[in-house]
Amino acid sequence: MKTSIINPIDQNFEGTIIMPFFEVSEEQHIVYQDIKVNKKIFSGKKDTQYCIETPQNIVLLVGVGVGQEYDILRKIFRNVSRKNKTLFEEKTLLVLPDSMNDNQIEAIFIGLYWGTYDLGFYKNNPLHPFLDPSFVLNIHAKNANTSVIEKSIKIAKAQIDTMKLVDLPPNVVTPKYLAQHVQELSDKVGFTTTVLGFDACKTAGLEAFLSVGKGSQHEPQFIIMEYVPKTYSKKTKHIGLVGKGITFDTGGLNIKTAAMVQMKTDMAGGAAVIGAMQLIADLGLDVCVTAIVPACENAVDAKSFLPSDIIKSYSGHTIEIVDTDAEGRLILADGLSYLIQNYKPEIIIDLATLTGSCIGTFGFETAALFSNNKEILANLQEIGQSINEKLWPLPLWDCYQSDIESEFADVKNYSGKPFAGAISAAKFLEFFTEKHPAWAHIDIAGVSFVDDEFAKTKHATAFGVQLLLNFIEKTIENANL
């Protein structure tokens, strides 16, 4: 899809016209040209539509209500795009109200592009018109900011790429597929990728990571992404990201008894980190970012690691395996240790579909947030609220440390208790941060894969991609972070 700004509107324009309208008061009416729309039919209420046909045009009036909430605008225009594909087969003009700000415009364009997303990867579904490289979306806006529109489309594309990685089947998205995807992406947008296979991981001492992948026929891939801006100086900030990349999780020998069919999504944290790196490089942000996605499959085999095993880790700490289904924290432990020891970032954020306890606490509305830095925690929470990637903090109090203490090793991977699971998992990760002063952990178990009106089955959300982008942009601007 290409975009073109049209100011003023060509009065001879023929095709589809999309016009968002804020909700009007009881004394007002919505008027298009000489047509006065009956308020009982259409008054601009949220998520309502009204179609007018003229000899030249089909005009789709879209109600956005008061229009202040980012996520509402995004959902409205996702539906507009998804449900009106045939209207976009003609020449199309989007007329934006003069009063719309940059955030509202961003939400609209992300929503329009999200409407192209289709789970029928292996069906012969017709291509959405927006995905045709020759399609041009004409835009009329008094204060049109082309950079906002271009950035919005880049964000949406990265989010859709992330959704697809999570929604594709696990026989396709193997660790090597993920590594190949990242290598191709890095060549395209401008960051460097290093992939450590089994032998390189063994040499490096990434034993916790390798233990999880022992039972799979698919070779583990330890994916390292590095972005350095063209404007690099000694003052450039350095941020580290780690994303859980379990491409399928059977639970190992502590095999899952339910919902295994959804465990292709256990790499959603890694996918979000990849999507964020795509945007950081594509937008050319003035920041150094090192991101690690340890990618492997937790399968069942004669070689699988066992409950009660004692394993080593990259940090040198030993780990007692209480539960093989608490595997995500093991690969994150090696990812965090490797990042800290070799790259020394100033800020670290990890994302993972880590615990069912997070879902038990928050359901499917918010991610769990842990941080040892109050400013990072507050900024992440504020940003998440603004784009509906909501986060709510949970404690890292010392009283929970006993949950991960082991008689046999430096630490154990599971408390064995039926409560506070998200907290004890975060305490486990904290153990491997080597007291880094600016670390945050985000458990996205309940928000990465959801039921909603946009599909008949559960599907990916790309939660975390825009959250990380916006946080990093704010960090660049804020000298105190």
Active-site positions? 256, 329
**CA-closest candidate to residue 274, choices 178, 340, 195:** 178
Report residue 329 CA to chain centroid gap: 19
In angstroms, the CA 47 to CA 26 distance is 18
Q: What does the alpha-carbon distance between residue 330 and residue 338 come to, in Å, rounded to a whole number? A: 13
Long-range pairs, 99-105, Cβ under 8 A, ≥24: 99/22, 100/20, 100/67, 100/141, 102/145, 102/148, 103/70, 103/386, 104/67, 104/70, 104/73, 105/141, 105/145, 105/148, 105/149, 105/152
Own/partner pairs for 213-216, CB < 8 Å, 24+ apart?
Answer: 213/175, 213/296, 213/297, 213/298, 214/301, 214/303, 214/304, 214/305, 215/252, 215/298, 215/299, 215/300, 215/301, 215/302, 215/303, 215/304, 215/305, 216/296, 216/297, 216/298, 216/299, 216/301
Other C-beta atoms lying within 10 Å of the C-beta of residue 232 = 11
Residue 252 gets the label, from left (phi > 0), alpha (psi -120 to 50) or beta, of: left
SS3 per-residue string spanning 252-297 = CCCCCCCCHHHHHHHHHHHHHHHHHHHHHHHCCCCCEEEEEEEEEE
CA–CA gap between residue 289 and residue 196 (Å, rounded): 19
Q: At what angle do helices 70-83 and 102-114 cross, to 10 degrees?
A: 40
CA distance 269 to 413: 19
- C-alpha span between 60 and 42 (Å, rounded): 11
Distance CA 340, CA 429 (A): 13
Q: Of 240, 192, 443, 402, which is closest to residue 337 (Cα–Cα)?
A: 240
Q: Is the torsion defined by CA of 352, 366, 277, 233 positive or negative?
A: negative
Q: How far apart are CA 32 and CA 29, in angstroms?
A: 10
Residue 399's contacts (CB-CB under 8 Å, 6 or more residues apart) are none
What amino acid occupies position 7? N
